Every structure is written in C-alpha cells, then in structure tokens.
Copies of this chain bind each other. A is one copy, B any other.
Amino acid sequence: MTVTPQLGAMLHRSLRVYQVWGANTEVGKTVFSTILCGLTSTYKPEEKTAYLKPVSTGPAQDADGCHVSRFLPGIHAETLYQFDLPVSPHLAAQVSQQNTPSDGEVLSKIHDFASRHASPSPGWLFIETAGGVHSPGPSGTTQADLYRPLRLPAILIGDAKLGGISSTIAAFESLKLRGYDVELVLLFQDSTYQNHSYLTSYFQENHSIPVHTAPLPPSFAASNDTSNMQTYYASTTSLPSLSSIAAHLASLHRTRVAHLQSMPETASNTIWYPFTQHQHLTADKITVIDSAKDSHFDTFHPDSQTKGLLRPMFDGSASWWTQGLGHGNPALSLAAAYAAGRYGHVMFAEAVHEPALALAETLLAGVENKRLKRVFYSDNGSTGVEVGVKMALGAARGRYGRGGEEKVGVIGLKGSYHGDTIGAMDCSEPGVFNEKVEWYEGRGAWLGSPGVRCEKGVWVVEGGGEFGTLGEVFDVEEREERGEGKGYEKEIRAILERLVGEEGKKFGALILEPVVLGAGGMHLVDPLFQRTLVKVVRASSDLFGGEHQSADHLDWSGLPVVFDEVFTGIYRLGRFSAASFLGVDPDISVHAKLLTGGLLPLSVTLASDSVFRSFLSDDKSDALLHGHSYTAHAVGCQVALETLKEMTKMEKDGAWDWAVSSQHRKNDQSCPVGPQQLDQPVRPSVWSVWSPELVEWLSRQDEKGVEGVWALGTVLAIHMGSAGGAAGYKSTAAKGLQAALLTDSDRDGSVHSRVLGNVLYLMAGQTTTEETVRRVQRLVRRGLGDVAC
C-alpha cells in the first residue's frame, strides 16, 4: 500500500483556484486555459493570475505552460513534472530517467504552489490536467482519483468533435461521481457537429451548469502560429459570451466561502442534532464538513486570510463507528450508482433481486455460524435489534403459553446499549440514555460483567487476575480447560436461579454485544465470561419454561441467544464476526454500521432455522409482522456486497499485516496485545491497528488521569478517571484530551474524536494507512503531554 501524505482539500479565501479538465485529449484545454488566464488577468488589473500544469508530457518547448507564457507573458506559468515522451504520463514516467512522483508528492507540490500564490488580496490560479479525466497520472492512478483529495472546483472543456457529446457527458459523470463540483463547461463551436448547441441545453437543463463557447482557433493543429493565435486570443477574450466568465467565477467563489461561513449559524437555527443538549451548542462549536476523503474530513476554518480555509481532520469516531473503506471511495459510489440505475428500490415482500440474495448468501457464509440460515433485512442497528428481539421472544413464547400477565424480558449485561428505538432501549437496564424517555421500561435483568483493560503495563481482568497479553485473555478454550470458567458458571447459574426462582421473572432471550459493550461506555468484557454466560443459559432450560428437547444440536435451547454485532462485527474488531472471539454460535445475529463500508444505512438480522420455524403457521398473524418500506433496498445491498468482497479480500491478502505483525511481544516491553514473538510469524488471534507501544505508554499515564486502556481491531479506548466529578455518560473527564486533539495539529491536520463519558475512543477504518495511525498516535501522546512527540 502506498503511503500518501494527507493534505486535504484546497480552498483559499482570496485565491480562486479552478482545475481545468478535458472531456478528452486535444479538446482545447490549453487554449481555454489561456483564455481563462487572459480573462481573469484583465478582469481586475490588481488581481494576479497564475497557471499550473502539474504533469506534462511531450517535448518541453511544446509544453502547455510555455504556450500560456508565450501569449500571456505576465502570467506566472509553471509545470511541476515534465516527461518528454508524448504519451500518457504513467507511461512517460516509466520510460523517463526521472523518479516517478507519488500521488502524494504531486498533491503536496500543488498545495505548496497555491500557498505561495495565496495572499490577502484576490488572485487566480488555473490548474490544467493532462489528457482526459481518467488519463493516468505518473503513478498510474487516474487523474479523477489522483486529484480528488484537493476537490477543486472543476471547469470541464467539452469535446467539439464528432462523438464529443458522448465524451463530454461521460467525463462529466466520472467527475461527478467522485464528488467534484463542475462549475462551468467550455467548448469550441463547430458548425458541422454543433455539440455546443446540444451540450448547452443538456448541462443547463439537467445540472444548471452554464456552457460557454469560443470559435475554433485559426489552425488548431498549428497553434505555434503565434500571430494568428494572438489575434485569436485577443478576439475571444472580448467576446460577450466569454467576457462574463471571470466575474462569474469570482462570484461563485465568493458565494461558496460566504455559504460555508454561514453554515454553522444556519445549522444551529435549523437542525435538531442527535444526542445533543442544544443549550450548550453555539454555532462556533459546529464543525462544517465540506467534504471527506479516506480517513479524514475536510473541515472549514474561516480564521485565516492566507492559509487554506479547509483543513483535514482525522475522523476519529469513524463517523460514529460506521466508517470502513474510506470516505469518497469510488468503488462504493459506483456500486451505489449501479444499483440505483438497475433497480432504484424495488419492493421486497415475496420478491427477490440479485444484490439482496447475493448479500444474504455472502453473510451466511461469512459469519461461519452453523446455526444461522436466514436473513431478515432492515434499516439500521436499532431496527435490526428490534427484529432480533421479536424473533427471539416469538420463538420463546411457546414455552410459557399465552395469556400470562407478565411479559417476558431479556437477560442482558449491565452497561449494554442496543439502539434508540423504544424496543431496543427496553433491552438495556435503566440509565442516562433512557431514564427520561417516557415510554422506556427496561424489560429484563442485567448481569454485571468483568471488564478487561491494560493498567500500568498489565492486562487486568476485573476480579479474574492478570495476563501477559490480550491474546492470552482471549484464549478462551485454553482458559476454560484450565477451569477459569467454573467461577463464572456458578455465579451465573446462581443469579439466574434467583431471578427466576425468587423474583419470579420470565425471560425470552439472552442478548449480548459480544466482546465490547459499545455505546454503554466502550467496555471490553472478558470473553470467557460471555462464553460461559451463553453456555449456562443454553444449559438452563429448566429455568426458562421447561426442558426443550430437540434432536437437532443446532436448535436453540434454554433461550434464543441474540448477538448484537452492530458495532463489533464486520471487521471492527479485526474479524468478520465478533462471535468468533467467544467461540459460540448465537441463534440470532444483528449486523449494521460497517456492513456498507460506512456509506449508508442497512441492517441484517440473521436467524437460525429453529427460530425461523417457530413463526410458521397457517395463521398470517403468527408471522414476523415487521418490515420497512425500503427493506433490502438494492443500493444498500449492492454497496454491502462490494464492501464484504473488499474486506474479505483485504483479510485474505494480508492488508493488515503491518498491524498484525506489530502485535508480537518484544522483549523490552510489557502489555502488548499479541502473543510472544515466534520464529515463524503467525497471525495472532487478536490484534489492533493501534500499536502495543501506545497501549503500554497510555496504560502508565495514571498521573494524567488514565485509568486503563485497551485496543482491539480498529478501536482504541482510553478510560479516564472521573476525577471526583460525575461518572459515566455525564462525566466530562475525557473532554480535556478531546479538546487537545481537536486543537493540536501537525501539517496533516488535527483529530476529531468523540467521548463517551469518561472514555475517549479512537476508531480507524479498514483502509486507514499505517502512516495515518502513527500520526494520530503521536498526536494522542502529545495530547497527554508527551513532549517528545
């Protein structure tokens, strides 16, 4: 994987920067760039115009920058990379003796060039691409992808030749689906093909984009004919059709900046934010996200006259735990567009379409759970949990018979959280998330569970001793063989007996977030405890309505077991399924968030055949009467399919080997995540992108308020002391570190993070690079006062 410096999108307050793209090669990009430079340099004489050609191929004396300089000597025109061979840059770079610049280097140099030309007074910069929108840059990345991190407003030079309507629209669509804003289309007038006439209506009517035209240059092939071209440029820049362009572009730029500037105020008057006490949300606290790329937001900061107004910010909450394959991922955009183009949304009851069926099969294979045989689609984790609970309670109800006064509840864990709809809320014990919700009523009983974290260099299982590595904690079969589960077993059985026997409670499901209790406070739970809980519940049919005899060992017994993997599944913790850490197969499993790689809402509830069969009857009202209008929407299913294909491929190809290999224990270090370094490298069973060194270091920062820390998969959780104040969700202990991360920044930006009470967590995506993780780790250490970072 190449390491790309993250430099983010470009927007200057006074320097108006436009990128000039071609519908094809030889459509007149350089001629129009020269016209644009001419128009802007005469627009307001005090405003300077610059021209940049990042990559040029062909003889240097014919280069586009030279063309601009020749006709507009007052313009600063520069070429960053010049390759002599007149072919696509990726080929020319291969052939040349020069080093091939990486995409990051190209972007970095463009940023540097623009910064040098940015000043408090207005100016212009036109950046001309090479060939068509998808012509490869020096590294081989096509330009539409290569330049996307800058997300500069685009001027598309249309193709006036035969076939040019097609190439212009297709080029436009390729830019659009990467999130570019095309502000203007320019092309030559050709009286035979009249593309300009068609395209003017097309772009105006469908996209409200103005199209301007210029006459064909006197002799396009012989544009070296300097005097002819001088006459041409002199005449075109005075054409009424073109002369308004500079004012138009200046106005677009002004409007864009003013709009970005106004957004926090408008938002604070218009939006009702989720999970937000608006009393304290002033406009200045609202982050304007202008775009996002890979693991970063590009956020607006109006506080500078010369520095860029957009700055990258590491998306440290993985956009509320959803982000996986990176923001602005073109493969996911194309998957979404394909399904939209093929189906839109088509109704799903008693119907089937390819992406929904293929996704169902992929999921059932991926979770490697012999019990799960059915896929029910819904829209988000909360609805997916409600479906799962309806399934479980529906399956269990047969045990108790109808008509009982008391409804059956769930067995869950203290500190769990399963979603915001009432039914999902009811699965959790009373707490700050729900205590003031009118209709909330915790329906069930919740057991405490022992946490796991690294404290002062040691992995501590609450009440269960210390471990050398997290891998040892997770070696649940070994620990079980050693008898470590016996205590849990007795304790759990005793609690269940008390709840059922003494308190007379009835239960219809066991529901768990495997491995990590997420929204409830980012608690890593001893996997042996969860494993034992499942086993005890399954062996305790006597407590749950009587013995359930089934010949099939895949049938549920005791209670249906529901795993809420909404947060923990689909590689968030490094594995397809979080259940695999526990080595037990749930009867029902709920997945969402990362399911679509971080693009849009979709949820699945997987169920066993025995749960499914309990809803079969001749009575329609015995069916699972649940279903959302957009059930199994094709766009979501297609994006999820693409996501799972990519993530399983990444796993197979060892895309995280850089992180996996860092987990091995080094001699001079305690508290790593993984096992001892071996002669033969093996993939440890548990690993994290966050380095053992960071975990070790953090675990020793008790003087800075750190009480414990853990890292698993893409998640890092830092538990801070509540320092005498309110504990839990209302705590503000982690706010200090959060503020430090948001304020402090290196050249690649700062870190946006979320806290849950006294816990600050950071979450990477599956495509977050090693370099980015290292950067963020440095900022974390600096945020806690490590002066060496």
Contact residues in B for A390 (Cβ distance below 8 Å): 437-438
**With contacts A25-B162, A171-B166, A177-B341 known, is A270 near B360, CB below 8 A?**
yes
Cross-chain contact B173 with A334 (CB below 8 angstroms): yes
State how many angstroms separate the Cβ of A520 from the closest Cβ of chain B.
13
Contact residues in B for A140 (Cβ distance below 8 Å): 198
Say which one of A129-137, A225-233, A524-532 lies at the interface with B. A129-137
The reply to whether the CB of A351 lies closer than 8 angstroms to some CB of chain B is yes
Cross-chain contact A162 with B131 (CB below 8 angstroms): yes
The reply to whether the CB of A356 lies closer than 8 angstroms to some CB of chain B is yes
Nearest CB in chain B to that of A192: its residue: B87
The A interface, classified by DSSP as helix, strand, loop or mixed, is mixed
Q: Mark A682-715, 1 if CB is under 8 A from B, else 0.
A: 0000000000000000000000000000000000
Q: Of B132, B271, B619, which is within 8 A of A356 by CB?
A: B271
Residues 312-327 of A contacting B (Cβ, < 8 Å): 315, 317, 319-323, 326-327
State how many angstroms separate the Cβ of A765 from the closest Cβ of chain B.
10
Residues 615-646 of A contacting B (Cβ, < 8 Å): 615-631, 633, 635-636
Cross-chain contact B167 with A24 (CB below 8 angstroms): yes
Contact residues in B for A623 (Cβ distance below 8 Å): 275-278
Nearest CB in chain B to that of A389: its residue: B439
Contact residues in B for A593 (Cβ distance below 8 Å): 629
**With contacts A135-B165, A635-B600 known, is A287 near B348, CB below 8 A?**
no
Cross-chain contact A320 with B349 (CB below 8 angstroms): yes
**With contacts A276-B350, A342-B328, A439-B443 known, is A270 near B374, CB below 8 A?**
yes
Q: Of B169, B347, B433, B620, which is within 8 A of A134 by CB?
A: B169
Say which one of A104-112, A379-387, A445-453 lies at the interface with B. A379-387
The reply to whether the CB of A331 lies closer than 8 angstroms to some CB of chain B is yes
Docked CA distance A134–B169 (Å): 7
Say which one of A65-73, A415-423, A488-496, A552-560 lies at the interface with B. A415-423
State how many angstroms separate the Cβ of A69 from the closest Cβ of chain B.
24
The reply to whether the CB of A664 lies closer than 8 angstroms to some CB of chain B is no
Contact residues in B for A328 (Cβ distance below 8 Å): 340-344
Contact residues in B for A177 (Cβ distance below 8 Å): 173, 177, 334, 337-338, 340-341
State how many angstroms separate the Cβ of A430 from the closest Cβ of chain B.
12
Q: Mark A716-735, 1 if CB is under 8 A from B, else 0.
A: 00000000000001100000
Docked CA distance A424–B434 (Å): 16
Cross-chain contact B176 with A338 (CB below 8 angstroms): yes
Contact residues in B for A625 (Cβ distance below 8 Å): 275, 420, 432-434, 436-437
State how many angstroms separate the Cβ of A167 from the closest Cβ of chain B.
5
Cross-chain contact A163 with B636 (CB below 8 angstroms): no
Q: Of B165, B373, B628, which is within 8 A of A136 by CB?
A: B165
Contact residues in B for A617 (Cβ distance below 8 Å): 277, 279
Q: Of B90, B169, B432, which is within 8 A of A198 by CB?
A: B90
Docked CA distance A180–B776 (Å): 42
Cross-chain contact A376 with B439 (CB below 8 angstroms): no
Q: Mark A343-376, 1 if CB is under 8 A from B, else 0.
A: 1111111111110110011001000000001111
Residues 157-171 of A contacting B (Cβ, < 8 Å): 162-163, 165-171
Cross-chain contact A420 with B346 (CB below 8 angstroms): no
Q: Which of A340, A348, A593, A630 has the most CB of B within 10 A?
A: A340
Contact residues in B for A393 (Cβ distance below 8 Å): 438-439
Complex copy number for this chain: 2
Contact residues in B for A90 (Cβ distance below 8 Å): 198
Q: Of B26, B322, B360, B615, which is within 8 A of A278 by CB?
A: B615
The reply to whether the CB of A508 lies closer than 8 angstroms to some CB of chain B is yes
Q: Which of A26, A438, A623, A636 has the most CB of B within 10 A?
A: A438
Cross-chain contact B383 with A380 (CB below 8 angstroms): yes
The reply to whether the CB of A281 lies closer than 8 angstroms to some CB of chain B is yes
Residues 257-289 of A contacting B (Cβ, < 8 Å): 259, 263-264, 266-267, 269-281, 285-289
Nearest CB in chain B to that of A256: its residue: B354
The reply to whether the CB of A33 lies closer than 8 angstroms to some CB of chain B is no
The reply to whether the CB of A534 lies closer than 8 angstroms to some CB of chain B is no
Cross-chain contact B170 with A346 (CB below 8 angstroms): no
Contact residues in B for A407 (Cβ distance below 8 Å): 438-439
Docked CA distance A270–B365 (Å): 11
Docked CA distance A290–B276 (Å): 43
Nearest CB in chain B to that of A624: its residue: B272
Nearest CB in chain B to that of A194: its residue: B91
Contact residues in B for A600 (Cβ distance below 8 Å): 345, 600, 630, 633, 635-636
State how many angstroms separate the Cβ of A503 from the closest Cβ of chain B.
19
State how many angstroms separate the Cβ of A447 from the closest Cβ of chain B.
20
The reply to whether the CB of A426 lies closer than 8 angstroms to some CB of chain B is yes
Contact residues in B for A173 (Cβ distance below 8 Å): 170, 173-174, 177, 334
Q: Of B271, B350, B421, which is within 8 A of A382 by CB?
A: B421
Contact residues in B for A286 (Cβ distance below 8 Å): 350-352
Residues 290-342 of A contacting B (Cβ, < 8 Å): 290-292, 297, 315, 317, 319-323, 326-334, 336-342
Docked CA distance A194–B85 (Å): 13
Docked CA distance A619–B729 (Å): 12
